[in-house]
Amino acid sequence: MALNKSKGNMYPWITHTWNPIKGRCPHQCTYCYMRHKPVGELRLDGKALNDDLGSDRTIFVGSSTDMWADEVPRIWINEVMMRIVENSGNHYVFQTKNPYGFTGWVHEGDYVLGVTLESNRDYEISQAPCIAVRVSDLRHLCGHCLGKPQIFISIEPILDFDINTLIEIITHISPDFVTIGADSKKTRLPEPSPEKIHDLVTTLQTFMDVRLKPNLKRLYQWG
């Protein structure tokens, strides 16, 4: 079967999405668009695993569940990574709230690794690792990952934050780029003011690539 073409709130630089691992995400984030859909139990989808991946595509792997969560069997991830190795003519993008899950798997290849940090603060919105653990594991990943894949931080949905602390975290990690977006579902999250977002964006733009998603315009106008 053919892959799904990128649509909706996906990154504009993604051409396709691929979900060989499906089912209820263990992280159960309150804002997730998949949370209330009848997705069934976590599973490796053998049919999707054999999708035609094509070539010269930028493929987001795991857009419907966090395939790097601790609860995902490593043998499933191995099956997915084997298919990717067999189809090396694409760019592959992974994103997680559990960067420790990348350890031992993503070494060499045309990969982009993303980690979600909604804020520097912890809010009771998820069963994912807390922010401090994500930051620690991401720093370890940056220091030990072979093959030098691109690494980005996704601040989406952006939640209220402490600007100096958040900028310090991002500076120490030194990702290749940062993306910032808002809660598309408007689920009454604790969101920052436009002024705080402006200060964050303009400060980060002085020393790194910052990519603002269209859904951020609900909170902050630019351009």
Please, which pLDDT band fits residue 111 given cuts at 50, 70 and 90?
A: confident
pLDDT digits (tens, 9 = 90+) for 127-147: 999 999 999 999 888 776 655
Measured between alpha carbons, how far is 138 from 140 in angstroms, rounded to an integer? 5
Measured between alpha carbons, how far is 152 from 81 in angstroms, rounded to an integer? 20
**Assigned architecture for domain 4-218:** Alpha-Beta Barrel (3.20)
Measured between alpha carbons, how far is 140 from 158 in angstroms, rounded to an integer? 24
**How are the residues of the chain apportioned to helix, strand and coil, as percentages rounded to the nearest 5?**
30, 20, 55
Asked if 203 and 165 count as a contact pair (C-beta separation under 8 A), the reply is: no
Structure tokens at 178: 């940062």
Please, which pLDDT band fits residue 35 given cuts at 50, 70 and 90?
A: confident
pLDDT digits (tens, 9 = 90+) for 149-164: 889 999 999 999 999 9
Domain spans, the chain:
4-218
Q: Is 109 left (phi over 0), alpha (psi -120 to 50) or beta?
A: left
For residue 6, the Cα-to-chain-centroid distance in whole angstroms is: 15
Which residue, 49, 52, 124, is CA-closest to 81? 49
> Cβ neighbours of residue 110 under 8 Å, at least 6 residues apart?
88, 90, 91, 92
- 193 backbone dihedrals φ, ψ, rounded to 5°: -75, 160
Q: What is the dihedral of CA 13, 198, 120, 189, to 10 degrees?
A: -80
Mean pLDDT, rounded, of the chain: 92
- Predicted local confidence at residue 178, as pLDDT: 98
Rg of the chain taking only CA atoms, in angstroms: 17
| Confidence (pTM) | 0.94
